[in-house]
Amino acid sequence: MTVRIRWQEPLCTALLATTMLGTCQVAAAEQPVIGSDGYVHVSPNGTVLGTDPYYPKDGNGGYDVSDYAIALDYAPRSTILQGKATITATATQELSRFNLDLRGLTVRSVTVDGVGATFRRVGEHELEITPAKPLAKDARFAVVVGYDGRPEPIGTARGRTGWLAVPGDSAVATGQPHSAMTWFPVNGTEADKATLRVAVTVLNEFSVVGNGKQISDVAAGAGRHTVTWAEENALAPNTAMVGIGRWKIDKISLPGGGTAINAYHPCATGNREIGGRLPEVLEFLTGKLGDYPQSAAGGLFLDRDLGYVHGAQTRPVFGRSATVADLVYGTAYQWWGAGVTGKMWKDALLPEAFARYAVWLWDEARNGTDLDRRYREQVAQAGNGRFWAPKLVDPGKGAEFAPTAKAVLMVHALRRLVGDDQFFQIMSGFPSINPQGNQNWHDFELYASAVTQRDLTEFDHAWLEGTARPSDEHLYPGSLNPKP
């Protein structure tokens, strides 16, 4: 029997060389652990914030992805997709097992650094991978996943997201949230941005568009070709897209040089007039938001209604009822949304509100719209009821975008409170100091207060956390005040 004295318990000395030393060494050594099956957010000061409260299984822990290289072979008539995904990542801890997010589809093989790994499917979208030997902390590694099947979209409050296919016609991966996991294995959190390269092999009669720039189009056997697109700026999974179809492609010269690429479904070529206004829209937005932050520009115009514009990085996706306002929003999203992105899904309204407000700025400049009048009319229509109930900082699972109208009103109220000079410094500055980064409402509040040198606490609380109509002091600041 070993007698322990309390003050001696932490000690592990050479005198305990037989049994006690070995036990103490094993306990002290850092052991490989299992990566969490949800992305764990940590504040800059090291405080553990936990997983996304809306979608706690989205994303994964234990590693950081730097690049996705996706090779797809698609059969439009059968809608069968064959895929090979190479994910390059760095372990952020000693790692004995880790997960990727992949919904549906059949996984045929997994290797880690070229060595076969065991794997299994768990829950709705977890691909659990155990490498042949544990990964050391800070080790760079490559995971290769072979898979196939018929991808299926996901039903959300906004409509279907993910892989949308019509047999014999187009297949488009689009929408948010969750869309990426329907067509490739991914660390499905907005907080882990990575570069993306997608190569699609398909019949010659079909063309392909994706994020970034097309870097090759080569023959792939009788009647087939492989088209590769690459995005050099790290992107959030919800801004990934790919489109396979008989697209009509337009190349448009941009102000100051460069070319934008718009693609149209044959039944959506009537939207060419809208897409053709992209140079005008870009010139306007760079005047308000600063230099365009992405590597490419353009859009994909579909023959179906999406219910909203998907602000995919470099190539927003528009439904058949697209308008110029949609084009302005989708382009502004390249700064606010694809550029600076929320940290969790409860932060989705932060970039959304400012991207939507860009449409108000367009209407003000191009259409002579009286924005104060529009604001007052919308406030009057909202009344005192449910319109004001959702918190902008935390609207609720499945309602990430529901209070968008309230959020846009907040942006205009902020503009009138601080004045145009400081407002546009905020609107252009916040994305520019967070290029391809992730920020939340608290980060924005601190930045806005720093720029304006004002205590905005009461305004922020009334608008961002309030569940009732703000008091007149915060509802009608500056020129919004209806009283003479």
Q: What pLDDT score was predicted for residue 48? A: 80
Write down the CATH superfamily of domain 341-480.
Answer: Neutral Protease Domain 2 (1.10.390.10)
Helix (H, G, I), strand (E, B) or coil at 470: coil
Q: How far apart are CA 441 and CA 463, in angstroms?
A: 12
Q: What pLDDT score was predicted for residue 297? A: 97
Enumerate the domain spans of the chain. Answer: 32-246, 341-480
Q: What pLDDT score was predicted for residue 9? A: 28
Q: How far apart are CA 227 and CA 217, in angstroms?
A: 4
Three-state secondary structure string covering 227-254? EEEEEEEEECHHHCCEEEECCEEEEEEC
Which secondary-structure segment (H or E) carries 82? strand 80-91
Q: Residue 29 burial (CB < 10 Å; 0-12/13-18/19+)?
A: exposed
- The DSSP annotation for 256-318 comes to TS-EEEEEE-GGGGGGHHHHTTHHHHHHHHHHHH-S--SS--EEEE-SS--SS-B--SSS-EE
Per-residue DSSP letter, 149: E
Q: What pLDDT score was predicted for residue 16? A: 28
Write down the CATH superfamily of domain 32-246.
Answer: tricorn interacting facor f3 domain (2.60.40.1730)
Q: How far apart are CA 250 and CA 261, in angstroms?
A: 6
CA 65 from chain centre, in angstroms, equals 14
Q: What does each of the 484 residues of the chain score in pLDDT, given as a tens digit?
A: 322 222 222 323 232 233 333 333 333 445 678 888 888 888 777 778 788 999 999 999 999 999 999 999 999 999 999 999 999 999 999 999 999 999 999 999 999 999 999 999 999 999 999 999 999 999 999 999 999 999 999 988 888 899 999 999 999 999 998 899 999 999 999 999 999 999 999 999 999 999 999 999 999 999 999 999 999 999 999 999 999 999 999 999 998 888 999 999 999 999 999 999 999 999 999 999 999 999 999 999 999 998 899 999 999 999 999 999 999 999 999 999 999 999 999 999 999 999 999 999 999 999 999 999 999 999 999 999 899 999 999 999 999 999 999 999 999 999 999 999 999 999 999 999 999 999 999 999 999 999 999 999 999 999 999 999 999 999 999 989 877 5
Q: What pLDDT score was predicted for residue 442? A: 95
Q: Which of 357, 398, 405 is nearest to 383 (CA)?
A: 405
Structure-token match 């294995």, residue found: 185
Sign of the CA dihedral with 430 first, then 431, 434, and 437 last: positive
